[in-house]
Amino acid sequence: MILTNRSQLRRLPARGSHDFESLRKILDAGFVAHVGFQAHGQPFVIPTLYGRDNDKLYLHGSAASRMLGELATGVPACITVTLVDGLVLARSAFHHSMNYRSAVVFGTAQKIVDPDQKEQALRVISEHLLAGRWNEVRGPSERELKATTVLEFSIEEASAKIRQGPPLDDEEDYDLPVWAGILPLKLEAKKPEPDSRLVQGIEVPQYVAQSRHG
């Protein structure tokens, strides 16, 4: 990856990193990316699912998607992923904060045309969301592949930023009779709920029952 002014960390740079391993961990732990781009003078930020393979991100959606259509032209784009780990409650309103992990990625996308490559990219997205699922379900038909746009987004440069730890109050506020600390937050899988039309006798797969994320 390259490093230019657009990915330079300016606010609290000590919390940031351009290390790819730090970036990878955040991208692999997330579900939803927000994709920012500009079309016809209007900025847009769209949430979407994604998958990662090395330094590539894969996006998919309807062939009629405006976002995918614009990105496929090669316009510059910014993709962000944020994981919230807790609310940081300080003794003063000013120093309240949040423990988080975030990634900001810059690059351009290109449309995948080859059916085999499209299917492989869709597999990457599926396995990112729930490893093991792709091998069990019916794969996409030729018609479904034609109705789906898949983009390969090349990570040209990126930055990661992480905030961990307790509140940082002003020294004179530590004696205030106010509770302070961290309220941890976590995305957690609950008990699977079977579909009402599930074929009788099918058990919950282990990869679903043991799913964890975040």
Which tens digit of pLDDT belongs to each residue from 14-24? Answer: 666 768 899 99
Q: Which amino acid is at 123?
A: R
- Does residue 213 have a pLDDT over 80? no
Name the band, by pLDDT with cuts 50, 70 and 90, for residue 56.
Answer: very high
CA max distance for the chain: 67
Tell me the pTM: 0.90
Interval 144-153 mean pLDDT? 97
Q: Is the dihedral of CA 11, 12, 13, 15 positive or negative?
A: negative
pLDDT in tens, 28-55: 999 999 999 999 899 999 999 999 999 9
Burial 5-24 (b: 16+ CB within 10 A, else e): eebeeeeeeeebbbeeebbe
Mean pLDDT of the chain: 92
Instruction: Give the pLDDT confidence score for residue 20 in this predicted structure.
Output: 85
Residue 12 scores a pLDDT above 80: no
Least confidently predicted of 15-29, 88-102, 157-171: 15-29
- Contact criterion met (CB below 8 Å) for 43 and 36: yes
What domains can you pick out in the chain, each with its CATH number?
A: 5-187 (2.30.110.10)
Q: Which two tokens stand for residue 72?
A: 């496929």
